[in-house]
Chains A and B, each alone.
Chain A
Amino acid sequence: MTGRGGRLLHAYTWLLIAWLILPISVMILFGFNNPNGRYNQTWQGFTLKWYKDVFALDALTSALITSLTVAVLTALIAGALGTAIGYALGRYRFTGAGGLNLLMFAAISSPELVMGSSLLSLFVTMGFPLGTASITIAHVMFSISFVAIVVRARVMTLDRSLEEAAADLGANGWTTFWKVIFPIILPAVLSGVMLAFALSIDDFVITNFTAGTTETFPLWIWGATRVGLPPQVNVMGTMIFAIGVLFAVIANVRSRSRKA
């Protein structure tokens, strides 16, 4: 099946990957730039000073801290609630499961703009103050379904005889879950938690609507585009990118070694 067509497609695939990586490379590169003025847009020379002064801008640093706080809370809450849903959907047949699936599908496929603006409508109508709490509520809302789907996929492949064996040995439902089931589905739970963290720290649109005057990392960048971005933004973006890639690679290698 290979031949000229295959080689052409191969080259095209790499071209597309290069195009995908181009703006990321620009982001990383300009974290090492030494600009004269306010605009970090043309290459002026290599420096490491932005890595040294990465936390020099207080407003930017506190925006990053807000992002991290919300992401950790989202990962924990959506991780717990999503795991419970995913386990129930994978393990039991019950009336209402179809409706729940539909609700999750709707939450995944609705435009972020509509979800964000409708949440703002709710918060405004109820007089709920906008800030870290409202952002976290929103992020948990759109992350739950993703965690549930990841966990459900793993639970559905579970061997039911494990549970029976545990029951035969005198373990009750609670003990069986925590001693037998949970360790098996833990990798899926962890990847769901990581996914929720990544979705949260990256989110812009829904956060834009639910944040009020509070700023997260993406919101701070959005607000600063008009006056020009300081190179610290590139450094922080590079660090988030590097940590994300590192985690993904570790998870991938671990799942491969388990299969082998």
Chain B
Amino acid sequence: MDRAKRTLAPYLLVLPGGLWLLLFFAVPMVTMLSLSLQEGDIVNGFVFTGHWQNYTESLGDYRTQLIRSLVYGAITSFVLIVMAFPVAYWIAFYGGRRKATYLFLIMLPFFVSFVLRTISWRMLLTDDGVLLHPLKEAGILPGDFTVLGSPAAVIAGLVYSFLPFMVLPIYVALERIDPRVIEAARDLYAGPLTSFRKVVLPLALPGVFAGVLMTFVPASSDYVNSELLGSSETTMIGQVIQAKFLSNSDYPSASALSFTLMAVLLIGVFSYARALGTEDVMKVAAR
């Protein structure tokens, strides 16, 4: 009896949560795929007709926004690597007993609602706000200088929103490095730059890889930053999908766009993993 109970126990334990994930994560994806091939409108209802033109038509209309989103996402991830690496490096190797405190400070923005943080940025960057107004008064900036509405404002917002997601994985990778490995490189007459390039950087790569995954996906599918900090020149695909779903109730073409976005992101993530060679990544991660 005990044996049967023991083999059954894990299944009984994972059943409710697993079902919840299946029903409300996996099944909806299938529903959305089906919806993306339907025709109709919100008043008369939608019917499945295998209408794949939803894909070609919506992609034809919104290709610019889709490409723009991927470009913004890529720039965001790249800027984040450059910005976050030195911080993660310093905390990992110089943080001493205060490591946890520094990481806590990096994560402080998470205690404020995402929307509220972005609105604070809009307040800071607005034309006559607390940042720009004094600089204009002092004549440092021209009177018609404006930040909001530009691609730079949107990307800066994205960088701000996802910075902790780049610092943390790089930190975790660097923290695992045995300092004696670096000492060994020095003993073998590697200069500081060479030992950084040949020892630290390759060992940090899995962290950078994880950081790119954790920032590129949310950044390129975001619509809060471009809505609050951007203009019609910076419209991202997330805004299009959100408006089609929630304002226009144009479910089939909204589903088609949403599905396309996920497919593009999945393919991007997958080929990125292939190009970087997951073998090495996994080996280092396993240590």
Contacts and interface: CB of A to CB of B under 8 A. Distances in A.
Same complex:
yes
Interface of A: 1-2, 5-6, 9-10, 12-13, 16-17, 19-24, 26-27, 30, 41-43, 81-82, 84-85, 87-89, 91-92, 94, 96-97, 100, 103-104, 106-107, 109-115, 117-122, 124-125, 137-138, 140-141, 144-145, 148, 173, 198, 201-202, 204-205, 208-209, 217-218, 221-222, 225, 229, 233, 237, 240-241, 244-245, 248, 252
Given A41-B126, A118-B28, A218-B116, 13 more contacts: A1-B93, A5-B192, A9-B90, A17-B105, A20-B105, A20-B163, A81-B16, A103-B22, A104-B21, A121-B35, A121-B255, A122-B24, A144-B21
Interface of B: 5-7, 9-11, 13-14, 16-18, 20-22, 24-29, 31-32, 34-35, 83, 86-87, 89-91, 93-94, 100, 102, 104-106, 108-117, 119-124, 126, 128-130, 133, 160, 163, 192, 213-214, 217-218, 221-224, 228, 238, 241-242, 245-246, 251, 254-255, 258-259, 261-262, 265
Which 6 pairs of residues, A with B, have the shortest CB-CB distance?
A: A23-B120, A81-B17, A118-B28, A111-B221, A88-B13, A244-B111
The B interface, classified by DSSP as helix, strand, loop or mixed, is helix
Contacts of B91: 13
| Most A C-beta atoms less than 10 A away, residue of B87, B100, B120, B126 | B120
Given A88-B10, A94-B10, A117-B245, A144 B258 contact: no
| Most A C-beta atoms less than 10 A away, residue of B9, B14, B91, B123 | B14
B17 A84 contact: yes
B32 A87 contact: no
Contacts of B115: 204, 218, 221-222
A82 B129 CA distance: 45
A145 B26 CA distance: 14
A118 B31 contact: yes
A150 B102 CA distance: 21
Contacts of A94: 7, 10-11
18 contacts: A9-B89, A13-B91, A13-B102, A23-B124, A26-B130, A85-B13, A85-B14, A112-B218, A113-B258, A117-B258, A118-B255, A120-B245, A145-B21, A204-B224, A222-B224, A229-B119, A233-B116, A248-B111
